[in-house]
Amino acid sequence: MANEPAHAPARLVIRNIGLMLSGDIGQPILDADTVVAQDGKITAVGKAKDVDTSEATVTIDANGTALAPGLIDSHVHPVAGDWTPRQNQTGWIDSCLHGGVTTMVSAGEVHMPGRPKDVAGLKAMAIFAQRAFTAFRPGGMKILAGAPVVEHGMCEEDFKELAAAGVILLGEIGLGSVKDGTTAFQMVSWARKYGIQSTIHTGGPSIPGSSLIDKDVVLAADTDVIGHINGGHTALPDDQITTICERSPRALEVVHNGNERAALLAVRTARELNHGERIILGTDCPAGSGVQPLGILRMISMLSSLGDVPAETAICFATGNTARQRKLDCGLIEAGRAANFVFLDKAQHSGGKGLLDSIQKGDLPGVGMVVIDGLVSVQRSRNTPPATVLPALVTR
């Protein structure tokens, strides 16, 4: 079920790419058909005639299909291995890999049965999760985990200690005892000082035991990411969502397990403000709504078809935007970035004229292959509708 990759191949060449989706919202489509990666990092992107494709150890013929950066899920709740106690499900991370996701970011390991809420315990659990998900990568999936949920009683020294131990994220502010803007801002500031990114639970309670975080708390806390601005599920009133978009400069995260109408409102507002680069996508799974292996693809398709977002731009929300907002080494097809890719094509029998048109018409694309760190992790997806054309491994 869950295999870890052995090591990166020396030199990967991908040729005959029909559509190069860069992940860069400033230029979502590149005039290029070839990518070369060395030891898991992209080294060249261009036209075949201009790129040195010699001495490949692995060659993939895209057969004219589209290449995009591996998708990033900005909001997941992993717990232990590839099991979630929330829905008592195994293999959920591997299933998301088949939805084109290559990187997941934890918003807190909050579904851990008996989750410790004292300061020593929550720090220990964060460090444990960071270590465990660094060492265990289902199918090769990169999981940034170890996101402690802050509680009253934490002091600056705790954040310093967490950072020194390798913790780079906070879980959603508001899922613990800290629910007021002043305390949240103090803890977010300490986290930021030591290089730890922060996020917040925006909107009504997600499950019994969690609580409302409204726009005043969101704006006062000033987290790096405004977690599920469309609620998880219960959204804030429309005027609060638009106010957050207008008054905060931070990343605006839209999730699958939220209010879809509010998602469309937030995306429309951000784009009207010319702040499209702030929009990032997550699933917020596992949750009460379950696990959505195709959740990021579904968000891309939903926002494109109902929100009038060009498909190539919606793909940037789930790739380059997230990478830039969260300072990740992936998410863009450019030299120096991690060689994480998803091959996409129009699903069989979609009414769309091509991949992008099919997404804009509301269909999901078919995933033909997934590559992480230059290694083929998945060939034809077991979960998406079948792609019309598949890429092929030419040599191993």
Give the binding range for Zn ion (CB under 5 A) out of 22-30, 93-101, 171-179, 240-248: 171-179
Tokens of 38: 């060395």
Verify binding: residue 86, Zn ion, rule CB under 5 A.
Answer: no
Nearer to Zn ion, 23 or 232 (CB): 232
**Of residues 137 and 228, the one with the C-beta less far from Zn ion:** 228
- What is the residue-wise DSSP string for 83-111? EETTTTEESHHHHHHTTTEEEEEES--TT
Nearer residue to Zn ion within complex by CB, 37 or 147 = 147
Dihedral angle, C-alpha 133, 134, 136, 138, nearest 10 °: 80
Positive or negative, the Cα torsion across 246, 256, 316, 224? positive
Report the alpha-carbon angle 374-328-280, nearest 5: 110
Q: Which is nearer to Zn ion, 106 or 377 (CB)?
A: 106
Q: Looking at 21-29, 164-172, 241-249, 303-311, which segment touches Zn ion (CB under 5 A)?
A: 164-172
- Shortest Cβ 237–Zn ion spacing (Å): 17
Neighbours of 335 (CB within 10 A): 14
**Alpha-carbon distance 44 to 107, whole Å?**
33
Render 139-191 in DSSP notation, one character per residue: GG-EEE---PPP-TT--HHHHHHHHHTT--EEEEETSSS--SHHHHHHHHHHH
- For Zn ion, which stretch binds (CB under 5 A), given 205-213, 308-316, 335-343, 356-364? 205-213
Judged by beta carbon, residue 296 or residue 315, the one nearer Zn ion is 296
- Please name which of 178, 142, 106, 185 lies closest in space to residue 340, comparing C-alpha atoms: 142
- What is the Cα–Cα distance from 122 to 178, expressed in whole angstroms? 14
Instruction: List the one residue from 73, 94, 172, 345 that touches Zn ion (CB under 5 A).
Output: 172
**Nearer CB in complex with Zn ion: 137/256:** 256
Residues in region 128-147 near Zn ion by CB under 5 A: none
Joined together, the tokens standing for residue 281 give 């996508």
Closest C-alpha to 85, from 60, 111, 118, 52: 111
Q: How far is the CB of 227 from Zn ion (least distance, A)?
A: 6
Would you say 232 or 293 has its CB closer to Zn ion? 232
Which position's Cβ is nearest Zn ion?
Answer: 201
When the beta carbons of 125 and 333 are compared against Zn ion, the nearer one is 125
Shortest Å distance, C-beta 105 to Zn ion: 13
What is the token pair recorded at 6? Answer: 């052995």
* Smallest separation, CB 106 to Zn ion (Å): 12
Smallest separation (angstroms) from Zn ion to the CB of 172: 5
- Min dist. Cβ of residue 154 to Zn ion (A): 19
Among 232, 258, 276, 366, binds Zn ion (CB under 5 A): 232
Least distance CB 242 / Zn ion (angstroms)? 20
Among 11, 123, 179, 201, binds Zn ion (CB under 5 A): 201
CA distance 206 to 225: 18
Which stretch, 42-50, 125-133, 204-212, 365-373, contacts Zn ion (CB under 5 A)?
204-212
Kindly list the strands in the beta sheet with 392-395, ordered across the sheet, starting from the edge strand earlier in the chain.
Answer: 41-46, 34-38, 11-15, 58-61, 392-395
The site for Zn ion (CB under 5 A) is made up of 172, 201, 206, 232
